[in-house]
Amino acid sequence: MSTAKNKRLEVRDKKHVWHPFTQMKEWEKETTLIIERGEGNYLIDTHGRKYLDGVSSLWVNVHGHRKREIDNAIKAQIDKISHSSLLGLGNIPSIELAEKLVQIAPKGLTKVFYSDNGSTAVEIALKMAYQYWQQLRTPNSKLRTKFVAFTGAYHGDTFGSMSVGEIDVFVEKYKPLLFPTYKAYYPYCYRCPVDKTYPSCKIACIKKLAPDCLYQGFEEILKSHHKEIAACIIEPIVQGAAGMIVSPPGFLKEVRRLCTKYNILLIADEVATGFGRTGKLFACRHENVVPDFLCLAKGITGGYLPLAATLTTEKIYKAFLGKYDELKTFFHGHTYTGNPLGCAAAIANLNIFKKEKTIQKIQPKIKLLSELLAGFKELPYVGDVRQKGLIAGIELVKDKLTKESYPMNERIGHKVCMEARKYGLMIRPLGNVIVIMPPLSITVEELKKMLDIVHQCIQSVTG
């Protein structure tokens, strides 16, 4: 594309497009990089420049761009029908996909409710859990109206999902509108206020925290308030938006055990961790945990189309059955629920996992990633390096000894990522954390190159 044509596109973007999670005043000043095409693990801009898609186009892409099988599946579905409603009708791809999801999900999750993004997948789980308890209520039992979530949680941007989230910069302005939620301390071992030495601490934070700690331990909350709690929501194994925080082994299992003990439903938000990112198809598999709800989105279509699913059990489903006028129906549905194009892409995505043995094939790459990450720990401004599967977070700190953070206005993570573009790598940080989250299809050579560039850019930006 000519420079003039590109410039015109940029002007039009700035005139009309309001970008997500973006300070538009800064956006208006910066040159806009416009993507025109994709090819395998690369994004190609309007100048024809190639960038390795280092965060999978915001954690969604799985097998690369223009993956032939997914392209073809969508095209074939277009030739049949692109959309028909799931309200009162069925469609073929939604049936096939539901069956496939049930086969691969943790055992016991047999019902699939579709929507179109991660926030709504979570919203649906929250509403189902809430309504479930209302419908089981006996005259003398207390109504369970509360949820437990974790510090640093991110579950989406709608009001319900913000209410169970805890990243202040995202939700602060809306706080008066959010429903109150119990927040339990998530084990962030590297900044642990009690004991820095897992496993000797035996995940003490799940039980009871030091008296001067701002937060409560999970078990403490459940012990005191279980009669009013409908469900607990967690990002299993890796908290994403908090900065790729990996929970200590056994934590998820302990959360499941306590939920069962206190008769509280467990919602696993695998919007980010699902579909192989953590090295297994679902993160819950690392600790053989079966949640009562499983929320899926992002990678479900291989990163092609907006589709989401909330899976749940027969037990939950049955509580919604009744005569029409009993009003036990789940009165929720989005217009594009179960969209056939999205479902066709998702079926193709899952078929590739099987055909190409994707999970098996990423294991050596996961090992390589951890070897490459070892070289970052010595860098003077790297405070912590975390990894699970093909997800990693490299946390930059102003002071390695005190772990003092870089102030927000220095935008250190942003600077590193902008620098990386010069070398043909597209990444996006989470504050001061550099995120590594490539498509599962990344090659060994590309992974090495990616980490090389990141290493070099951290050094040049932090001086």
Residues making contact with ligand PLP (CB under 6 A): 117-119, 122, 154-156, 235, 240-241, 269, 271-272, 297-298
Residue whose CB is less far from ligand PLP, 295 or 372? 295
- Could you tell me the CA-to-CA distances from 431 to 118, 189, 196, 380, 412 in Å, in that order? 21, 19, 23, 18, 8
The pair phi, psi for residue 360, each rounded to 5°, is -65, -40
Residue 268 CB, nearest distance to ligand PLP (Å)?
A: 10
Residue 269 CB, nearest distance to ligand PLP (Å)?
A: 5
Residue whose CB is less far from ligand PLP, 174 or 227? 174
- Cα(55)–Cα(439) distance, integer angstroms: 7
The residue sitting closest to ligand PLP, measured at its beta carbon, is 118
Which alpha helices (DSSP H) does 105-217 contain, by range? 118-136, 159-163, 168-171
Residue 122 CB, nearest distance to ligand PLP (Å)?
A: 6
Residue 400 CB, nearest distance to ligand PLP (Å)?
A: 29
Both tokens of 353, joined, read 């996992």
Instruction: With beta carbons less than 8 A apart as the criterion, state whether 274 and 240 touch.
Output: no
Residue 293 CB, nearest distance to ligand PLP (Å)?
A: 13
Instruction: With beta carbons less than 8 A apart as the criterion, state whether 299 and 274 touch.
Output: yes
Instruction: With beta carbons less than 8 A apart as the criterion, state whether 448 and 408 touch.
Output: no
Q: Sign of torsion, CA 317 318 320 325?
A: positive
Residue whose CB is less far from ligand PLP, 122 or 396? 122
Partner residues linked to 115 by β-bridges: 308
Residue 272 CB, nearest distance to ligand PLP (Å)?
A: 3
Residue 154 CB, nearest distance to ligand PLP (Å)?
A: 6
Residue whose CB is less far from ligand PLP, 118 or 303? 118
Total Cβ atoms within 10 A of residue 75: 11
Residue whose CB is less far from ligand PLP, 271 or 461? 271
Which residues lie closer than 8 Å to 83 by C-beta, 6 or more apart? 336, 339, 340, 341
Residue whose CB is less far from ligand PLP, 127 or 400? 127
- Cα(102)–Cα(381) distance, integer angstroms: 45
Residue whose CB is less far from ligand PLP, 54 or 240? 240
